[in-house]
Amino acid sequence: MGYKVQNVSFNQANGTTTLRNISLSIETGECIAIIGPSGSGKTTLLNVLSTALKPATGSIEYNGNNPWLIPKSALKKIRAAIGTVHQSPPIPSQQRVITAILAGRLGQWSLLKSVISLIYPLDLLGPHACLQRLQLEDRLFERCDRLSGGQLQRVGVARVLYQAPQLLLADEPVSAMDPVLSDVVIGQLIEETTSRDATLIASLHAVDIALRWFPRIVGIKNGEIAFDLPSTEVNETMLKELYASEMGNLPMQAAIAA
């Protein structure tokens, strides 16, 4: 059981190669952090894992199935079991928080239930509970354009918590949050993953969060994997080499120069 990425490459529309020959093997139940400098390919890798992007070469496998070779209905089922937390949550600004969270289960609900929930939300307790875990329950019926950046990011996380997927992908989920809140949110993501034996892959910009919370760290630079190690084996030299282009300081949540 698990996820495999084999020799995957991806090219952008303008020709630049964002991923080169990436190979990863992920067991169910793992919590992995992906770190690397800006533009190294973290987001692209997560998009390939979520089946939003098709790899140019190589293949990905979910429990032995290649999602790009199966019929559409099977792919839809696989996608309903993958949840993505985006760095900048793709939520229409006029939408209310409750509807934005309910949208997480659209892959699992019938058409009738989805249409009714648009006008009259059928499940209020579920989204409320998800927001409560992220300390945002008082904003359940607020419009999304009235929220701050960090609050909107938490709504995106709440949506994935509500979806309860088997594979959680998080693309810089705490980039707009203060250190205390980041800890709460990452803690919730990890608790959600471990309680259901799901898998979590998170790309993070702050190295200290990655080292503190995640047992396995994958470093990416220029679209290639620089290292793939347990967090205890990651040392300062490796990190400095990874972020060599970021002017000598390691990006930390606590903003203290390394």
Partner 1 sequence: MSGNSYISDPARNHRLGFIVVALVVLWPMLELAQFKPWLLLRPENIEVLGNFLIQFFPPNIDIDFLKIVLHATIETLAIATAGTTLAILIAVPLGLIISHSLSISRIGPGSNYLLSKFIRLVARFLMLFLRGIPEIVWALLLVRVFGLGPTAGVLAIGITYGGMLSKVYSEILESANTLPARALLVSGSGRLTAFLYGLLPGTAQELASYTVYRWECAIRASVVAGFVGAGGLGQLMDQSMKMLNGGEASTILVVFFILVLLADYVSLLIRKQLG
Q: Does 126 bind partner 1 (CB under 8 A)?
A: no
Residues 6+ apart with CB under 8 A from 209: 33, 174, 182, 183, 186, 253
H/E element holding 23? Answer: strand 17-27
Kindly identify the residues of this chain, within the stretch 162-201, that bind partner 1 according to CB under 8 A.
Answer: 163
In 3-state terms, what secondary structure has residue 167? strand
Q: Nearer Cβ to partner 1, position 67 or 179?
A: 67
Q: Nearer Cβ to partner 1, position 143 or 240?
A: 143
Q: Nearer Cβ to partner 1, position 55 or 83?
A: 83
Kindly identify the residues of this chain, within the stretch 105-124, that bind partner 1 according to CB under 8 A.
Answer: 106-109, 111, 114-115, 118
Kindly identify the residues of this chain, within the stretch 65-104, that bind partner 1 according to CB under 8 A.
Answer: 67-72, 75-84, 86, 90-95, 99, 103-104
Q: Can you tell me the distance from the alpha carbon of 186 to that of 172, in angstroms, rounded to the nearest whole number?
A: 10
Q: What are phi and psi of 167, to 5 degrees?
A: -125, 115
Q: How far is the CB of 244 from partner 1 (least distance, A)?
A: 30
Q: How far is the CB of 237 from partner 1 (least distance, A)?
A: 38
Q: How far is the CB of 246 from partner 1 (least distance, A)?
A: 28
Q: How far is the CB of 99 from partner 1 (least distance, A)?
A: 7
- Under 8 Å between Cβ of 116 and 109: no
Q: How far is the CB of 71 from partner 1 (least distance, A)?
A: 6
Q: Can you tell me the distance from the alpha carbon of 73 to that of 157, in angstroms, rounded to the nearest whole number?
A: 26
Q: Nearer Cβ to partner 1, position 17 or 108?
A: 108
The count of residues interacting with partner 1 (CB under 8 A) is: 39
- Under 8 Å between Cβ of 79 and 167: no
Q: Can you tell me the distance from the alpha carbon of 28 to that of 245, in angstroms, rounded to the nearest whole number?
A: 34
Residue-by-residue DSSP string for 71-88:
-HHHHHHHHHTEEEE-SS
Q: Which residues bind partner 1 (CB under 8 A)?
A: 50-52, 54, 67-72, 75-84, 86, 90-95, 99, 103-104, 106-109, 111, 114-115, 118, 163
